[in-house]
Structure 1
Amino acid sequence: MKKSTTPGTAPIAVDLSGRATGHVVEVAGTGVHYWDYAPVEWTPATRTIVMVHGFRGDHHGLERVVELLPDHRIIMPDLPGFGASPAFDHTEHSVDGYGEFLAGFLDALALGAGTVLLGHSFGSIVASHFTASHPGRVHPLVLVNPIAAPALEGPSGVMTKLAVFYYWAAAKLPAPLGNALLRNWLIVHAMSMAMAKTRDKALLAFIHGQHHAYFSDFANRDMLLESFRASVSGTVRQVADRLTLPVLLVAGALDEIATLPNQHKLVNLLPDGELVVIGDVGHLIHYETPLPAAQAIDSFLERHPAP
């Protein structure tokens, strides 16, 4: 159970202890940690959903959505280099590298073609590129806060350039200074504040608590720089026309990283795409508005059963 609180407000808690079991599986020589969340009750409609978290996150970030999908089995790894999973030994922490990992992960767990794949933010890039390169491997695809255009474009382009310099500088500094910069409390807090749109004090406290607890849990600065470069160079748009399966986009109306105009452009590029826009939220749908996101996912899966 994870709690965060502000004086005078009720704390927000996520409790999946009755559903979650932790495991380690070896994929291409890397011992990857993953969590398996059983459905409350197995039914013919139960689906298996593999979730891919975003940059600098781990499996904790999507647990508010998991909690609201009690009818489905959810499997969520910490991507190599993040959370409890060690970095790749010989593979680059790139979109292709994580795609190769995802292929091996699905095979290692013997997950079939009816598996649902969900990616959030950077995870949307990994999930979409994997799906485009492995047609028929999963069905369908769900992308939350999908990265529809290069990060250097649009209103956040200047901030992205500053972030590029931040990660580059951290990699060039002596290791103790570089790691201290990457894990600096004030910088992590500033990132958290910039992304959050809610004014709910309890929810803000929960979001900031989550970011401070898990945002700095990465293996080393070299893999972080590799994955950051992947996160600002890759997009879902690059492979949109190759995503021939049903695809659900869940977008935030106030998202300054994956902006709404670009979501409308992206859905028009998809052969079988659907866009759900959630109001009054930005890039933290998984924290701020998990209920409408989960409802959209449930509805989408009902209309797109396993092949």
Structure 2
Amino acid sequence: MNNSEEPGPKLAYAVVFGSVMVLGLPLNAVSLWILLRRHSLKSSNAIFMVNLAISDLLLVISFPMRVYLYATGTWPLSSKACDCITMLFRNNIRSSAIFITFISVDRLLAVVYPLRSRHLRTASNAWKSVALVWLFVLVVNIPEGLVLAGNLKRVNESTCFEFRGQQQEQQPGSALSYFQLVLVVTLLTVNLVSTALVSCTLHRRLNDSAKVNNKVNVMLIFAMNLVMFTICFLPVSIGVLTIKRDKITPLVCLASVNCCLDPLLYYFSLDAFWKKKEDVDLAREQ
């Protein structure tokens, strides 16, 4: 394993990834079960959240090998396995950022343009959007996977989980790193604009509780989204271009925490999250 770090930090990384795994696995598994069992997938919001939970679960299943590597300093699997597990992390950053933005835009349309957006906020459009997101993620994997494979020929396999700094990557890798930063900043901007528009709309409707229910929950959704972008997604996207490879692991740990925060979105975003979908449908009819 890379000797530029002391055993202490490596054990700390193992503890962090282990803790995130212990929390993230049951939280997302239970959330996914509730979303599928108690909420109809006819809602665009629920569809985005189901796919967000799936993205987080794909990330969490890679944590046991991260814990093993940082705890023991050895890698028992092949370099291809390193590639796959590294890609799960990068895919989670991109897919989670996009699905969270979709949730923000969906809430924006529901609050600011409730009538005019009905034809847009359909299950059919949501599934099409979800399919495009996963297709986009897979397409990006092709050049990025080639860069990772090339890097592993020049570095020890035990460093395979780390983002390579710009000076240590080939040009295609640097381009993908810049692309990731642009993507995250663009999505963050969309979330900021959505938050401002919804906040202004709710302020104008302060005394009209019939039109917008659970105003506090609505704003908590946007607050959680901004927290995840500014704490989890943005630092690692900037760090990959500015920090040396062996110093990026703390930001990777921080980014991984997003899979523990996402379940809070499900609670705040869906009315009557713990109720059966029949009860929710009945409440909507009334």
TM-score by length of 1: 0.28
Looking at CA atoms only, which structure, 1 or 2, has the larger radius of gyration?
2
Higher helix share: 2
TM-score by length of 2: 0.30
Specify which structure has the bigger relative contact order, considering alpha-carbon pairs within 8 angstroms and separated by 6 or more residues. 2
Higher strand share: 1
